[in-house]
Chain A
Amino acid sequence: MTTQILMPALSPTMTEGKLAKWLVKEGDKVTSGKVLAEIETDKATMEMEAVDEGTIGKILIPEGTEKVQVNEPIAVLLAEGESASDISAAPKKAEATKEAKAPAAPAASAPKAAQTAPEPTETGGKTQTVREALRDAMAEEMRKDERVYLMGEEVAEYQGAYKVSQGLLDEFGSKRVIDTPITEHGFAGLAVGAAFGGLKPIVEFMTFNFAMQAIDQIINSAAKTLYMSGGQMGCPIVFRGPNGAAARVAAQHSQCYASWYAHVPGLKVVAPWSAADAKGLLKAAIRDPNPIIFLEHEILYGQSFQVPENDDFVLPIGKAKIERQGSHVTIVAFSIMVGKALKAAEALAEVGIDAEVINLRSIRPLDIDTIIASVQKTNRLVTCEEGWAFSGIGSEIAALIMEQAFDHLDAPVARVAGKDVPMPYAANLETLALPQVADIVEAAKAVCYR
């Protein structure tokens, strides 16, 4: 059977081109790699090489021809023992790609919580700071699973820049609690490789501001590789550290990254408020087979809460918690804003507004069902976050509620967020830039038309 030489596509966008020059003539013998012709594409003049061996039996398109369509036969190649009389006329064209409509997201893989286990009881227990709860979560999981290790700047001998890893070096040794050089891009990528290699790294960023150095490894390597490998390359890794505004450290050290990471399919994003959240969610994050962004808050590290003493206290990722029941307005918050929302609810109670406060706990997957159920009851919604409103978590929740619970709203959704400015240093300006209890109270009153 003779072989047709087809007009090649020589760029991702080329559909036609000029056959500028033939460098072989009929009767010429060619071998693989021999330049056959010069083709002018939409970008440049390219040489076209032979792939198969044989003799040029017939040139179908003369040189100088413009607008030759990609895949149009331009010559016929004869194999050993074939002659020009073997050339058939039927041109062979590659099949065009069919256009298809994307199927709807199946419930299982949509960005939604897959909640099965009942909520563990969270009453009783001991009083602990968030800092201690985080350390205990890591220590308990490291005792259980040899593959779990911690790496980051100052996590070992210094005992953690914020003392979260206090005591871990003593218990687990320098093989599993590893001080890194100041090299976020490098150690984040190294940990991703270690996760591909069968380990379960916990990577501490001294703060999430520094993780911007590593964001290519987090998104392109950790989050996307499972999909790009057709499911072969799971990346069980936790990136954790303080996120959001600390105090008086100005713009480069005071930013909430929740919406940055929540944007990316393949990542899970968790933001605990209380010590119980911190412990139960960090243990879940370490056990999870996916890359997790675990957003802590420096201001919360020293705050104390009740934590169940159960050694196996784990909270489900993707499930929100109703911190306060109410019937007039729903206030949704995460991380440090949960505390502010609860204070706002007390203030609102004094003026006769009964607020329900939802602690999101997870940003992705987002427990939209819990928010909708609450809005169906209250018909009013206020979202709270430290980060900027533009393309923020509140914007996403507002859009979802508009799509899924529009008829239940008696007022537009209100967003309480950080002011749209880089964080200022001056104490008074910093207070103005951050969302405060009073802002939440005001927003809640507004949606209640009070």
Chain B
Amino acid sequence: MAIKKATRGATPAGNSAATTEQLVEFYRQMLLIRRFEERAGQLYGMGLIGGFCHLYIGQEAVVVGLTACANKQDTVVTSYRDHGHMLACGMDPKGVMAELTGRSTGYSKGKGGSMHMFSREKGFFGGHGIVGAQIPIGTGLAFAHKYKNDGGMSFAYMGDGAINQGQIYESFNMASLWSLPVLYVVENNKYGMGTSVERASASPDLAGRGEPWKIKTMTVDGMDAVSVYEAGLEACAHIRAGHGPVLMEVKTYRYRGHSMSDPAKYRTKEELEKMRSEHDPIDSLRQTLIGLKVTDEEGFKAIDKGIKEIVLEAAEYSQTSPEPDPSELWTDIVVAA
């Protein structure tokens, strides 16, 4: 691959905290998520993925920028728009795709599906299907980090739709009261299913929701991985220093519908097209890398090719792996005492 090696501590994008190596990695990861999701959408169309399938296309910079701030012992929870988070956590695309197709080789042996996948090994604690329910759980993971004094922190992601659930504020209150090491991330993609933030939230300032609980708040451009990364570094430093939780509102955009069956009539084609053409996180980072002369056309081709192979391999694996054995119906209900 024609990627120029970064010098340690290089500051390629003006005063950016990211090295050129990191920028290339951000690009690679965002592209992996996007290509994976496009392929998942295709498999859904073929009837190989069933039920609900919520794609992350457009929002890639959020999870890629923030995961770059995480340490090994940290934990992550999110909602059901979770494929990007799993890939960013380092989970195997094959196992994720095989779960989407309901195969025995999926992360949940085919018993969880798109919305319910986990990897203790990678610190990914789901994948939760009930809007907002992951936030008390992420707060509890933070509680466990503090209780065990393991130096870890919790990343708890939610959408703008979840922000009006009562349990979010119950969590904010306890996290602040007990100074728990948790980063709350609101991925504001402007629509909770088909209802815009303006139509659902009395105040559109979602970061401001942390203020009554004395939580440090931040608002970040979620279409730029570097901005997200830099904000993440600041947030994590605050949290790891024992100063309690941070609420970060990340302004982002999803290109696809809420789920596969959503025609997205609640927004204009022009709005979508403007985001795609002017604010796409992958295109803009590509331009940055070209401007910095870090990666050339050959380099991008090599990255694209590598990603395509990974995704095709995952798609193939997800179709050739066997369905769960019928005996799996009766396993994993309770742990044998």
Contact check, A220 vs B143: say whether CB atoms are below 8 A apart: no
Interface set, chain B 170-202, CB cutoff 8 A to A: 170-171, 173-174, 177
Given A233-B120, A288-B337, A94 and B108 touching (CB < 8 A)? Answer: no
Asked if B48 is an interface residue, CB under 8 A from chain A, the answer is yes
A44 to B116, Cβ gap below 8 A?
Answer: no
A110 to B177, CA, bound (A): 43
Closest to B45 in A: A8
Q: How far is the CA of A433 from the CA of B17 in the complex (A)?
A: 69
Tell me the bound Cα distance from A49 to B107 in angstroms.
28
The interface stretch among A185-193, A305-313, A340-348 is A185-193
A344 → B minimal CB distance (Å)? 34
Is A217 positioned at the interface, with any CB of B under 8 Å from its CB?
yes
Q: Which residues of A contact B142 (CB under 8 A)?
A: 193
Which of B61-69, B223-231, B257-265 forms contacts with chain A?
B257-265
Q: Contact between A221 and B133 (Cβ–Cβ < 8 Å)?
A: yes
Is B334 within 8 A of A186, CB to CB? no
A197 at the interface (CB under 8 A from B): yes
Decide: B263 and A44 in contact? CB cutoff 8 A: yes
A103 touches B329 (CB 8 A): yes
B39 CB contacts on chain A under 8 angstroms: 51
- With contacts A12-B52, A231-B109, A266-B333 taken as known, whether A186 is within 8 angstroms of B173 at the C-beta atoms is yes
Point out the residue from A70, A221, A317 that lies within 8 Å of B128, measured CB to CB.
A221
Are A70 and B47 in touch, CB under 8 angstroms? yes
Size of chain B's interface in residues, with CB distance under 8 A? 74
B334 with A226: CB separation less than 8 A: yes
B335 contacts A290, C-beta separation under 8 Å: yes
Task: Verify B41–A9 contact, CB threshold 8 A.
Answer: no
A106 at the interface (CB under 8 A from B): yes
**CB-CB < 8 A to B118: which residues of A?**
225, 228-229, 232-233
A232 to B262, CA, bound (A): 32
Whether, in the assembled complex, A164 has its beta carbon less than 8 Å from a beta carbon of chain B, the answer is no
By the criterion CB–CB under 8 Å, are A197 and B337 in contact? Answer: no
Select from chain A the residue with minimum beta-carbon distance to B148.
A198
Q: Is A289 an interface residue (CB 8 A)?
A: yes
Q: How far is the CA of A48 from the CA of B137 in the complex (A)?
A: 36
Which chain B residue has the least Cβ–Cβ distance from A288? B337
| CB < 8 Å neighbour of B42 from A8, A188, A190 | A8
Known: A180-B174, A197-B145. A9 touches B140 (CB 8 A): no
CB interface residues, B 128-162, toward A, < 8 Å: 128-130, 133, 135-145, 147-148
* Also in contact, A189 and B38, with CB within 8 A (given A217-B133, A228-B111, A228-B116): no
A449 CA to B244 CA, complexed, in Å: 69
CA distance A105 to B326 in the complex (A): 11
Interface: A404 (CB within 8 A): no
Assess whether A183 is in contact with B332, with CB atoms less than 8 Å apart. no
Contacting residues, chain A, for B116 (C-beta < 8 A): 225, 228-229
How far in angstroms is the closest Cβ of chain B from A256?
23
A175–B335 touching, CB < 8 Å: no
* A302-328 interface bits toward B, Cβ cutoff 8 Å, 1 = contact, 0 = none: 000000000000000100000000000
Contact A8 B111 (CB under 8 A): no
Is B166 among interface residues, defined by CB-CB distance under 8 A? Answer: yes
Taken together as a complex, chains A and B put the C-alpha atoms of A188 and B123 apart, in Å, by 21
The answer to whether A181 touches B173 (Cβ under 8 A) is yes
Could you tell me if A289 and B335 are in contact, using CB atoms closer than 8 angstroms? yes
**Chain B positions 40 through 52: 1 when the CB is less than 8 Å from some CB of chain A, otherwise 0:** 0110111110111
Taking the complex as formed, is A158 at the interface, i.e. its CB lies under 8 A from any CB of chain B?
no
**What 0/1 readout, one digit per residue, does chain A (191-209) give for beta carbons within 8 Å of chain B?**
1111111110000000000
Cα A289 to Cα B174 with chains together (Å)? 26
Give Cα A51 to B312, complex, Å: 11
- A43-B261, A183-B173, A230-B107 known; A221 vs B137 contact (CB < 8 Å): yes
CB distance from B319 to the nearest CB of A (A): 8
A257 in contact (CB, < 8 A): no
Contacts A32-B38, A48-B45, A192-B137 given; does A233 touch B125 at CB 8 Å: yes
A192 to B333, CA, bound (A): 17
User: Is A193 in contact with B330, judged by CB distance below 8 angstroms?
Assistant: no
With beta carbons under 8 angstroms apart, the residue of A187, A198, A217, A284 that contacts B174 is: A187
Task: Note all chain B residues with C-beta closer than 8 A to A199.
Answer: 143-144, 147-148
CB distance from B327 to the nearest CB of A (A): 6
Separation of A315 and B52 alpha carbons in the complex (Å): 43
A48, A175, A232: residue with the most chain B Cβ atoms closer than 10 Å: A232
- 18 examples of A-B residue contacts, CB within 8 angstroms: A9-B45, A33-B57, A103-B330, A110-B330, A114-B337, A183-B173, A189-B135, A189-B170, A192-B137, A193-B140, A196-B140, A199-B143, A226-B335, A228-B108, A234-B335, A268-B334, A289-B337, A290-B335
Taking A175-B147, A229-B116 as given, write out 4 further A-B residue pairs in contact, using a Cβ cutoff of 8 Å, ordered by the A residue number. A44-B261, A110-B330, A193-B136, A232-B120
Closest 8 pairs (CB-CB, A-B): A193-B140, A189-B136, A8-B45, A186-B170, A197-B144, A11-B261, A230-B109, A193-B137
